[in-house]
Amino acid sequence: MKEIILLKYGEVVLKGLNRGYFDSMLLKRARALLKGVDGSFTFEYSQSTLCIRGSENADIDSAYSQMKKLFGVTTVCRGIECEKDIQAIKKAIIENGGRFLKGAKTFKCVAKRSDKMFPLNSPQICAECGELILDNFKGLSVDVVNPDVSINIEIRDKAAFVHGGGEKGAGGMPAGSNGNALLLLSGGIDSPVAGYMISKRGVAVDAVYFESPPYTSESAKEKVISLARKLSEYNGRMNLYCVSITEIQQTMTGICETKLFTLLLRRFMMRIAERIALETGAQALVTGESVGQVASQTTMSLAVTNSVVGIPVFRPCIGLDKEEIVVRARSIGTFDISSLPYEDCCTVFTPKHPNTRPTEELLVNEEKKLDVEGLIERAIQSKTCIRIG
């Protein structure tokens, strides 16, 4: 008998003739996630399940934890591999049932017999294993509708797997399987969640951070770097581009209408982000905006910030309220980092009474007061890149 990890695929199984591409992307990311885990691991794919076997010294605990971050997997199971023999299966249940059934009051057995040559059919396997559990683990009863734990017995081509149902996986599509995008990453709560959500759809993400020294500190930058590191745990290696927009903000002061500062700055950010995206091969931009959350996120405001770029802008949080975004931030581990008290560049120059019903004409007229192209070029020249992950 050997302890294994089983990964159950999600919508990847629906990809038809393109299935091989998605399988290879998922396997590549699985290998990357296990790169820093003690021991060596082998991978074997069979019937919408990826079986991971570790060497004798492998850290199965850490490997299991890492696999829960793997996009493309709906369920992560930690189980036992044994011979395709009912007595070997029963032995695996006796020796490991304590941890599979820990804290449970009800259970059911679920058998899947891929090898039709196995002498017992699925109902017979369930009956024998269920009786074994009732005889050896006291205080349990059978509940086939809503059990606390399902004991799964899978009869495969080469071996049998026994596990306790596993935990929910990250879901989505394998990282990098659906192109590339550039995330406008601030130190706030929303943009990291947006980055995670678009990564979950298989989009590989790099990020751009707009800093404003001396108005923003190194601590604010380190906060964003920490957020990028957390995202890279799911997304994989990423580039974080840091761009100074201090000159843009200082130039607008005293020249442009104060109530338009935020929108003018957002238009500069979008233009700069698009230039970086096109230079680096990204096909879209990603922001953490949610309709109506702040003045710059009314439908009119979003329209005038969108109008300055020609590539798609994805807003995964667009229909979520703040509470929903916070719940997601907590679940992926970014909330505590985002809550650190370091201001980003947007809050430093935020007007007290921003315009919530802007028009394209109004903003274009304001931009005529500025050397837009020159300011963009000089901001891009300030760009530095930090490799994350």
What is the percentage of the chain residues whose pLDDT exceeds 90?
A: 82
Q: How confident is the model at residue 355 (pLDDT cuts 50, 70, 90)?
A: confident
Instruction: Locate all alpha helices (DSSP H) within the chain, ordered by sequence.
Output: 19-33, 60-67, 86-100, 122-136, 190-200, 218-235, 246-252, 261-280, 299-306, 322-332, 335-338, 345-348, 360-367, 372-381
Cα separation, 184 vs 317, in Å, equals 13
Q: What is the pLDDT of residue 385?
A: 98
Q: Is the pLDDT of residue 349 over 70?
A: no
Taken in order of first residue, the domains within the chain and their CATH numbers are: 2-168 (3.30.2130.30), 180-388 (3.40.50.620)
Q: What share of the chain is helix, strand, coil (3-state, %, to 5)?
A: 45, 20, 35
pLDDT in tens, 180-232: 999 999 999 999 999 999 999 999 999 999 999 988 889 999 999 999 999 99
Q: What is the pLDDT of residue 132?
A: 96
Any residues with CB less than 8 A from the CB of 7 and at least 6 apart, and which? Answer: 30, 49, 50, 51, 52, 67, 70, 73, 75, 76, 77, 169
pLDDT in tens, 106-140: 999 999 998 899 999 999 999 999 999 999 999 99
pLDDT in tens, 12-50: 877 777 888 988 999 999 999 999 899 999 999 877 889
- CB atoms inside a 10 Å sphere around CB 267: 22
pTM to 2 decimal places? 0.90
Q: Is the pLDDT of residue 75 over 70?
A: yes
Q: What is the pLDDT of residue 13?
A: 78
Q: What is the pLDDT of residue 348?
A: 58
Any residues with CB less than 8 A from the CB of 297 and at least 6 apart, and which? Answer: 289, 290, 291
Q: How confident is the model at residue 346 (pLDDT cuts 50, 70, 90)?
A: low
Q: Is the pLDDT of residue 388 over 80?
A: yes
How many residues appear in the chain? 389
pLDDT in tens, 145-175: 999 999 999 999 889 999 998 899 999 999 9
Mean per-residue pLDDT for 84-113?
95
Contact 183, 210 (CB under 8 A): no
